[in-house]
Each structure stands twice: as structure tokens, then as C-alpha cells.
């Protein structure tokens, strides 16, 4: 597969992520894909804008009393993608994530739209057959198909369920979806509406098990994070998110992602700043 053997590192790397690949524990991977976005595209620009803006951020996390300089992170740049070919994009994300996992490192994928998670989950479940998912999002993402597509940002968690089955997907912050999705969730996933209540309990139950953490940043309220494709009022605050991440401390997180920042809808830059802060907390957490 093309570009598989080299890292497409640009002139800049994320602030504090300057380890070499060999030394790194965590590998950042930008996946600038927004090919199935239904309403407002633009997430393909997220990783490059975040890299550029990261120099405005402090490397120290007062939430975790930890500095990015203590984390060994390699910025693997952005994947070069065949836009318009969703299958090939997912294959590429899976292959690159598998490379990182098989080298004993933790992939941290920066979307892109939420469908990119599926590529990473495919690789993670091949490596860890008992994988569980913690999913923070405004949206259920449990449709069997959306606008005739089975592979879509609106079906991504359902496609993950195809791989994992019942009782292994834990959803939090959910406040949007159709009625049938919520009904389906009742028998197939653990779904917490509106907030991160129960996250600590889920973390305790999943202790020692391999977990993939997927954070759709639209779980945040649009007043905090307006720059996204499908904003949903009634979301959590940044403090809720930071505290939620603290509740995951000590879990065996084998892979993770941050998705759905859409810089074209973020003229003030506050959403990018929030995404970067979430990234810093995630890096310090894992």
C-alpha cells in the first residue's frame, strides 16, 4: 500500500510531540477525511490547523499535574488519502494503525469525520480480541445505514458493534439520534444520555481490559465547541470532559481518537483551542 513505509511528517509537528518513532509510546496520526459528512464538511482540515495552533497552548496539564514533555509522542503527520474512495481510506487507516499497534505503541488518531474510527477499531480488535469501546459523542451513530450508505459517520458505532457484539460498547453524552437507534441501543450497548454519568463505574468495570477511547468532540456543548459538522445543543462543558478523562486514569487504553473538529466553522478559533486542550489531556492520560 502506498505511503505505508514512510511517515508523512510536515514541517511542523504538534507541540510537545517531538519524540522519534522508535522512542515513542504514543503515535499521532492525522486522518483528514470528511467524505461521508452529511451536513457541513470541513473536518479534513482539523489536524493541520491543530498543528499550527498548538504553539499557543501550554504543555502542562493542571488537571493531571503532568507535562507533555513527560509523554513520549511521535507525530506521524497526516495520511495521504484517496478522497472519494471510502473503502480504500478505511483500509489505509487500518493498515497504518495496525503498524503502530504491532510495534507496541498506542495510536492516537486525529480526524477527520467519525467514520475514520472504524479503520482504527478494525486494527485494534485484531490485536486485542476482547476490546471494549468507550464512546463520547452527542450522536448515537448506530444507524444500520444512512442515505443508503452502510459506511458513514452516522453508522460508525454500529459498524464497530458488528465487530465487537453486545455489551462491549459504552456510550456517553448521547443526545441525538432517531428513536429506533435509542431502542436498539437498549439491547446492544450501554448508552448514557446527555452527560458522562456512570463513566467512573464503567472504567472500574473495564479495568484491566483493552479499551479503545473514541471522542467525538461534538459531545461538548456548541457554546464550547461550535466548530463541528452537526452541532447539538445540550452538551457537556470542557470541565466535564477533563474530569471524565481523569476517571479513565489507569485504564488499559490501547488506542484512541479525537474527531469532528471542522475549522471552517470555527472562525474565532475557540473550537480548535478546545480540541487542542482535549488532545493534551488525552496525551497526558494515556
Give the footprint of Mn ion on this chain (CB under 5 A). 137-139, 216, 218
Residue 225 C-beta: closest distance to Mn ion, Å: 11
Considering beta carbons, is residue 78 or 137 the nearer one to Mn ion?
137
CB 136 within 8 A of CB 244: yes
Task: Report, in Å, the least distance between residue 115 CB and Mn ion.
Answer: 11
CB-count burial class (<10 Å; 0-12, 13-18, 19+) for 248: buried
C-alpha 282/C-alpha 286 separation (Å) is: 6
* Identity of the residue, 181 or 216, whose beta carbon is nearer to Mn ion in the bound complex: 216
CB 138 to Mn ion: min, Å: 5
Cβ-closest position to Mn ion: 139
Residue 239 backbone phi and psi in degrees, to 5: -60, -40
Question: CA-to-CA distance for 94 and 98, rounded, in angstroms?
Answer: 6
Q: From the CB of 217, what's the least distance to Mn ion, in Å?
A: 8
SS in 3 state form for 191-240? EEECCCCCHHHHHHHCCCCEEEEEEEHHHECCCCCCCCCCCCCCCECHHH
Count how many residues are written for the chain. Answer: 286
C-alpha cell at 227: 466548530
| Min CB(223)–Mn ion separation in Å | 16
Question: Residue 206 CA to chain centroid, in angstroms?
Answer: 19
Contact 30, 3 (CB under 8 A): no
From the CB of 23, what's the least distance to Mn ion, in Å? 34
Peptide bond into 57 cis (omega under 30): no
Q: Which of 162, 139, 152 is nearest to 230 (CA)?
A: 139
DSSP per-residue string spanning 133-169: EEEE-SB----S-BTTBSSSTTTHHHHHHHHH-TT-E
Nearest CB to Mn ion, comparing residues 34 and 137 = 137
Q: Which CB atom, from 38 or from 64, has the smaller least distance to Mn ion?
A: 38
Q: Minimal distance in Å, beta carbon 160 to Mn ion?
A: 14
| Least Cβ distance, residue 218 to Mn ion (angstroms) | 4
Of 32 and 235, the one with the shorter C-beta distance to Mn ion is 235
Amino acid at each position: 500500500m502506498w505511503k505505508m513505509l514512510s511517515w508523512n511528517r510536515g514541517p511542523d509537528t504538534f507541540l510537545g510531540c517531538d519524540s522519534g518513532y522508535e522512542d515513542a509510546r504514543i503515535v499521532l496520526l492525522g486522518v483528514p477525511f470528511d467524505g461521508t459528512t452529511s451536513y457541513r464538511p470541513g473536518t479534513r482540515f482539523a489536524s493541520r490547523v491543530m498543528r499550527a495552533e498548538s504553539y499557543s497552548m501550554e504543555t502542562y496539564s493542571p488537571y493531571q499535574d503532568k507535562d507533555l514533555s513527560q509523554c513520549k509522542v511521535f507525530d506521524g503527520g497526516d495520511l495521504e488519502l484517496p478522497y472519494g474512495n471510502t473503502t480504500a481510506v478505511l483500509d489505509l487507516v487500518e493498515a497504518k494503525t495496525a503498524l503502530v499497534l504491532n510495534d507496541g505503541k498506542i495510536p492516537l488518531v486525529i480526524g477527520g469525520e467519525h467514520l475514520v474510527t472504524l479503520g482504527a477499531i478494525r486494527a485494534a480488535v485484531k490485536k486485542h480480541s476482547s476490546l471494549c469501546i468507550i464512546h463520547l459523542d452527542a450522536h448515537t451513530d448506530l444507524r444500520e445505514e444512512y442515505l443508503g450508505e452502510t459506511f458513514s459517520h452516522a453508522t460508525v458505532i454500529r459498524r464497530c458493534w458488528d465487530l465487537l457484539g453486545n455489551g462491549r460498547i459504552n456510550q456517553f453524552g448521547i443526545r441525538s439520534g432517531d428513536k429506533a437507534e435509542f431502542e436498539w441501543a437498549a439491547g446492544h450497548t450501554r448508552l448514557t444520555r446527555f452527560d458522562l454519568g456512570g463513566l467512573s463505574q464503567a472504567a472500574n468495570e473495564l479495568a484491566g481490559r483493552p479499551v479503545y477511547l473514541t471522542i467525538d468532540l461534538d459531545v461538548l456543548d456548541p457554546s464550547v465547541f461550535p466548530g463541528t459538522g452537526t452541532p447539538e445543543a445540550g452538551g457537556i462543558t470542557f470541565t466535564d470532559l477533563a474530569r471524565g478523562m481523569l476517571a479513565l486514569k489507569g485504564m488499559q487504553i490501547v488506542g484512541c481518537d479525537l474527531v469532528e473538529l471542522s475549522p471552517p466553522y470555527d472562525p474565532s478559533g475557540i473550537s480548535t483551542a478546545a480540541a487542542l486542550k482535549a488532545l493534551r489531556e488525552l496525551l497526558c492520560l494515556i
